[in-house]
Structure 1
Amino acid sequence: MLIKPTLKIERLHVKRGSIIAFDEPFHNGVNVLCGKNGSGKTSVIQLLMYGLGYEVPNWKEEAGLCDNIYVELKVNGSPVTIRRKNNGSDKQSMDFCFSEMDAALASPHKNWFNYPYAIGSKPSFSQQLFDMLGLPEAKADANNNNVTLHQIYRLIYSDQSNTSSAIFNNEPFDSAFKRESVGKYLLGLYDNELYDAKIKLAEEDKKLQKIIAKLQAIYSVLGKTSFAEDIGTIEEQKKNILNKIASINIAIIEAKEESLISYSSDKKETESSAKDSVAIRNKLLEVETEIQQLNYNILDSEEFVSELIDKQSALRDSIKVGSLIDGFEFSSCPSCHKPLKEKVKDRCGLCGEPRESIGSSNGLLRMKNEIEIQLRESEKLLEKKKQKLTELTTKRKELRTSFRKQVSKVTATMSSVDASKEKQIFDLYRQTGELEEKLQTLDKIAELHQSLLELRDERYVVQSEVNRLNDKIELIGKQRLHREPEVQALISKRLCELLRKDNGSEKEFKNAEYAEFDFAANSVSVNGKTAFSESGIVLLNNAFHVALLMASLEKNYVRLPRLLVLDGIENGGMEDDRSKNFQKVVVEALSSYEVDYQLVFATKNIDESLKSKDYMIGEEYSEPNKSLKSFS
């Protein structure tokens, strides 16, 4: 059974130049890397963890000389091969190929996708793997740095060179806050969800109050007008006024034609005003055309984005369905219902094609990755187009007002010397001015009515979001309140069960009743005690990490990716009998789980019951037969 997130190692392939230094498969459950001291166990562990995204502080000499590390993974059941180069510099990027190892090694460059160490123009490799695992983002420290793969590995990988009593691997600039954040994140007790929800609620509530204030202001203004909320009455008034203005302009022209006199200066001014009117009209036509074209483009872009979202959703469904029915065998044709012919191993029972070429979800993952990149770019372009449309709409409104005023100005500059006609024309000008003022007032009132409608819709949307966020915050609070004591008690119980089966000299282990752990303090205690023998501290630390793994197999909300790596379980001078007993106790404790998981540990003395291909990674290594073959 698969619980998400699950990160399963399928194969490790290491090269030094053109030489293959290490190439071994891994399997579900317990994986043991065994060999005498100096045989290269820690080198293999370091290469594996570096390939997964961990920053190795102190390379073993042989491991540090290897330059290309490939790790085949099953991420939530889907295959992917990752490649990480080691050229001696820090913060290396990572390459992804959404297929199994053999296909990835033979794939062209275009099938590999590079993700940087840090966030930039594209997501980091941590973000990419987090997305594939379905893990949410979370802040790891007070500087707003996110939890990364490296920080997660500090807890699920016990480094041989680490302080024996420390829960987390050592690193420079560490902090209690960071350890607490990462530890609680992996136990499902913390992420950005609650924090972001509270921040978002404050923003939405502030936005809601502003909308309400605007609505109240508009109501106070509209309450003093004679117009109802129906904008149709305003449009009717505007139409009547425009008709009156047109009639008055005709009357002015007729009155001036009767005077039969004009001045050249007036003529020049009239011609100039007319030219200005034509120029404004041409600009208005250009803007109208551009708006029309942009509307078509936006509609096309929205349809394209919608199609991408549909494809993204369909691919996610396909990946999910594929993981659920993987390995399903047909006994009859689903079309004609006739019995199928004899099946050929490693080929599809329906079409007969090799399974590698048809069945894996690597192509779906690659397509999903490409669509996500395309979707991000398309949404950015769509937003720019919409912003441009808003700017053009505002410009069109300004040009329309300017054009109307310019037309009136052209009429106004037509002159007459007839006194009686001048008075008549003056009165007509005055009427035109008054009507223009009314028209502007109506435009403003119409804008207020439109704003009122838009603000009402916006208030409904924002209020709904405020209600949703309040419900979400309340739900998350209840979940966290219940989860923390539950998972702490579970880890304590499983740890005490492991310790009581220890054959060492610590009485507290044999009588273990309760265990406590403190991520911030980086320590574990048993029955309130933290001081034990050196080998006892090593065993306690390893047992605590196994208890974490067991908790992840029992509680779906625990985010530890069902993976644990322990290097050098005999540190601290642990006796062989004690080490072998611990190996048997752990394997026995994990054997009752039906959930997919991996425990990888290195030992110099493997218990006899584990000496089989079911548990061992490769051979039993020694000084003459080292794990990294190119250095033998």
Structure 2
Amino acid sequence: MTDVNLPASDESVALPMLQLRRLRVMKSGHVVYDQAFHDGVNIIRGDNGSGKSSIADFIFFVLGGEFDHWKKVPAQCDEIQAEIMTTRGRLVVRRETSSKASPIHVFFGKFEEAMASGLDGWERFPAHRQGDHESFSQLMFRSMCIPEAQSDGASNITMHQVLRLLYADQQTPPGRLFRFESTWDTKAIRAAVGDLICGLNDYEAYETSLKIRDLEKDYDQASRQLSALLSVLPPDTALNRPEAVGSQIAELERQRAKALDRIARVDDLINSSETKSFIAESRSARDAIEKQSSKIDSLERGISNSEYELEDLASPDYSPAG
């Protein structure tokens, strides 16, 4: 495997460079398109509907773009392969069309070597950063000697974002410099990509704008929480200022501490004579309840016996004694 590293002295003066040297499109293991490209301007020409836009879509996708709006015929293709020349060396990449964010497999070397190599000769890179695993965009920026953004937020600048400026499909309005994306697009990223392409290579303004965006989100969340808290306060109170709320909290804390102190000293607060009187009254009431319960039991037994006698008298077999 060929490493894509240059000596430090060469890196300091190397200019970012990316060239597409070859593009090959596959379907079920068969080649359906194979084209080599040369230095300078390459023109792809053909009649309407011959597939010029589809070739541009293939290039956009294999270089790291996220795309899944394939036309009917290109949608039947399942893999795209490309040979790329960068500042640090030659790469061969292949990518399946099953998903717009499918990973990219990379071989460090020439196209013929890559096709003859087994699976061990390829490395897999995800479309987006996954923990400590380097993404395909990070690999490409490093290979092209483009400085990477310094913060996790700024790492949103990917090959997809760069390619949006270099490529526009037929559905994109002609007045837009960036390929149109209605679902997700930010001015900060467009500005950072523009600066990067123009050679500024400075992410400080972009990182600052991202921090401002995050702080604004935090402020909006805190503002919503404060509004929710104020909405539950009684309307006739003056708890509409932080110091008033703090004063009320302090007063409630004092009342709570006082109640806890009384609970801790409950034995000292109760009069012993009152306790004895309460116990005596409780015993007297218990004795009276027991006596009444005995009377009730005696009456219930008498009632039960009388019911038996009444049943005997009502029986047709009953005859008085004597």
State TM-score, norm by structure 2: 0.56
Residue 147 of structure 1 corresponds to which residue in structure 2? 157
Structure 1 counterpart SS, 2:34: strand
Q: Does 1:28 align with 2:46?
A: no
Structure 2 counterpart SS, 1:105: helix
TM-aligned CA deviation for residue 19 of structure 1: 1.5
- Could you give the per-residue CA deviations for residues 458-493 of structure 1, whole angstroms, max 9, x where no partner exists? xxxxxxxxxxxxxxxxxxxxxxxxxxxxxxxxxxxx
Residue 69 of structure 2 corresponds to which residue in structure 1? 58
Distance 2:113 2:158 in 1: 28
Give matches, 1:605-624, under 5 Å: none
Q: Is the 8 A contact 1:147 1:182 kept in 2?
A: yes
Residue 54 of structure 2 corresponds to which residue in structure 1? 43
Whichever residue aligns with residue 24 of structure 2, its letter is H
TM-aligned CA deviation for residue 83 of structure 1: 0.8
Distance 1:4 1:14 in 2: 30
Q: How many residue pairs are counted as aligned between the two chains?
A: 194
TM-aligned CA deviation for residue 190 of structure 1: 4.7
Distance 2:164 2:68 in 1: 12
Q: Does 1:161 align with 2:171?
A: yes
Whichever residue aligns with residue 164 of structure 1, its letter is P
Q: Is the 8 A contact 1:140 1:182 kept in 2?
A: no
Distance 1:153 1:170 in 2: 12
TM-aligned CA deviation for residue 103 of structure 1: 1.1
Give matches, 1:303-322, under 5 Å: none
Gaps of 5+ in 2: 1-12, 209-322
- Could you give the per-residue CA deviations for residues 266-293 of structure 1, whole angstroms, max 9, x where no partner exists? xxxxxxxxxxxxxxxxxxxxxxxxxxxx
1:96 to 103, 106, 124: 106
Whichever residue aligns with residue 59 of structure 1, its letter is W
Residue 219 of structure 2 corresponds to which residue in structure 1? none
Q: Does 1:134 align with 2:145?
A: yes
Q: Does 1:183 align with 2:188?
A: no
Residue 85 of structure 1 corresponds to which residue in structure 2? 96
Q: Is the 8 A contact 1:43 1:62 kept in 2?
A: no
Structure 2 counterpart SS, 1:154: helix
Whichever residue aligns with residue 59 of structure 2, its letter is L
Distance 1:196 1:31 in 2: 36
Structure 2 counterpart SS, 1:34: coil
Structure 2 counterpart SS, 1:69: strand
Give matches, 1:181-220, under 5 Å: 181-192=192-203
The 1:140/1:51 distance shift into structure 2, 3 A limit, reads farther
TM-aligned CA deviation for residue 160 of structure 1: 2.2
Distance 1:86 1:5 in 2: 28
Q: Is the 8 A contact 2:151 2:207 kept in 1?
A: no
Determine which structure has the larger helix proportion and give its number: 1
Residue 316 of structure 1 corresponds to which residue in structure 2? none
Q: Does 1:15 align with 2:35?
A: no
Whichever residue aligns with residue 139 of structure 2, its letter is Q
- Could you give the per-residue CA deviations for residues 393-415 of structure 1, whole angstroms, max 9, x where no partner exists? xxxxxxxxxxxxxxxxxxxxxxx
TM-aligned CA deviation for residue 61 of structure 1: 1.8
TM-aligned CA deviation for residue 122 of structure 1: 1.0
Distance 1:139 1:84 in 2: 28
Q: Is the 8 A contact 1:138 1:185 kept in 2?
A: no
Give matches, 1:393-542, under 5 Å: none
User: Quick one: percent identity of the two aligned structures?
Assistant: 34
Q: Is the 8 A contact 1:15 1:68 kept in 2?
A: yes
The 1:62/1:6 distance shift into structure 2, 3 A limit, reads same
Residue 292 of structure 2 corresponds to which residue in structure 1? none
Structure 2 counterpart SS, 1:50: helix
Q: CA RMSD in A?
A: 2.5
Distance 1:140 1:187 in 2: 21
Residue 134 of structure 2 corresponds to which residue in structure 1? 123
- Could you give the per-residue CA deviations for residues 221-276 of structure 1, whole angstroms, max 9, x where no partner exists? xxxxxxxxxxxxxxxxxxxxxxxxxxxxxxxxxxxxxxxxxxxxxxxxxxxxxxxx
TM-aligned CA deviation for residue 139 of structure 1: 7.3
Larger radius of gyration: 2
